[in-house]
Structure 1
Amino acid sequence: MPSTMPSQSHYIPSLSTLLFQLKSLRQQNTSLHPIDPLLRQLDESCQHFDHSLHLLGLEFNQVSTALSALAAMLEQSKLDTLECEQVYCLLEPFAHRLQQTTRQMQELA
């Protein structure tokens, strides 16, 4: 019996690719001129989205770097206190997850 679930490897084009395709279709068909203002607005929105995504990526990178440095400091610290170990145990996985999120955000940008 064939599966009705969508394939996980389905290609999803980027927003900029879709916009490019829409602009190409518009150029091929002059009767679509009423959508020109919407295409311009969509283009501006895409640029704003790309810029915001870039800024978020930079922010995530700064936070990730700071948390990684703090975790490294705690790991190298010679303090044998329970509080230090607890803080390290909380920060290290968080820093790792934040690094992964930063890489994913940069791939999207």
Structure 2
Amino acid sequence: MALEPVLVNLADPGGSSYLRVALTLRVADVEEGKDAKAKEEKLKEDKAASDAVASVRDITLMVLGRQTADGLLAADGKEHLKADLKKAFAEHNADLKVMDVFFTDFLVQR
């Protein structure tokens, strides 16, 4: 699941720092092994996929908005952020099994 780039203000004092990030999630395929579905079921599936993307973007924005520039730029900052995101996805959307988080763009501006 590839997300469009996200731009968010960071939780630094003064509110002048921001993060632009694009990420891709590796998710477990819960539909694997099932037969082809009817057209009506495919439409329902497309709506569920759209809802899942909206949910993932919402959770991502919540987690990112709590970060600070110093925390993200620390040696292990990105690894901590990945762990925070995976934990938040598991808590808020149990149907979506996120296996890995990959940053495809990552820019912190102070």
| Greater radius of gyration (CA) | 1
Q: Normalising TM by the smaller chain, what interval? A: 0.3 to 0.5
Counting strand residues as a fraction of each chain, which structure ranks higher?
A: 2
